[in-house]
Amino acid sequence: MSLNDIQLPPIVLHQLYKYSLIDLNCGQAPGEKNTSKLFSTLGNNQRLICILVESNETLHLPDDQLSFLLGILAACNLTMEDVAILNVKKNQAVTYKTVTKELKPEKLILFGVTPAQIALPLDFPYYQVQQYNNQVYLTAPELSDFHDNKTEKTKLWNCLKQIFAI
């Protein structure tokens, strides 16, 4: 496959080209914006939903896992505009306190990330919706574990229906 045959999903194109070449309404160029963000995230976090993942392969998620996650979001009536995807392997100092301070999430979904990895002072099993610090937490296996596993998908869906009142 050559580079000319690669087709990117629309959401990826939107993330890559979200700024115009010329912004007449702004005093500074998009490249000159304040880069004080502590984390590199994918998505705009408009509904204050943070999805924590763990991937050594890519900055955020491999394509197959991102496609599966986009399907989950669509089933929950969410888009990439509504969430922030944070890869704990590619960002330093990821704790529940730093995530709360930086992203201000109301809901956190951890795929393959344990509560201990983000220094959460409590531990709970997969698929248990947990309230803490005025936030809702859900832990689940890595996104790659859901491939062709209907039982795991059903467990996840039941929790997501509870969290998002679907």
Please check whether residue 137 lies inside any domain of the structure: yes
Instruction: Return the half-sphere exposure (C-beta side, CA atoms, 13 A cut-off) of residue 58.
Output: 12
Query: Global pTM?
Result: 0.75
Pairing assessment for the beta strands 83-87 and 41-42 based on DSSP bridges: antiparallel
| Residues of the domain holding 94 | 40-164
Q: What is the CATH number of the domain that holds 123?
A: 3.40.470.10
Please check whether residue 16 lies inside any domain of the structure: no
Please check whether residue 141 lies inside any domain of the structure: yes
Please check whether residue 8 lies inside any domain of the structure: no
DSSP annotation string for 22-76: --TT-SS-GGGS----SS-EES--TT-EEEEE--SSSSS--HHHHHHHHHHHHHT
Distance, C-alpha 121 to centroid of its chain: 22
Please check whether residue 119 lies inside any domain of the structure: yes
Please check whether residue 33 lies inside any domain of the structure: no
Q: Is the pLDDT of residue 133 over 70?
A: yes
End-to-end CA distance of the chain: 41
pLDDT digits (tens, 9 = 90+) for 100-114: 999 999 999 999 999
Quick count: other Cβ atoms within 10 Å of Cβ 146?
20
Please check whether residue 74 lies inside any domain of the structure: yes
Count the domains in the chain: 1
Q: Which of 67, 39, 48, 73 is nearest to 166 (CA)?
A: 73
Q: Is the pLDDT of residue 68 over 50?
A: yes
Please check whether residue 22 lies inside any domain of the structure: no
132 phi/psi in degrees, rounded to 5: -160, 135
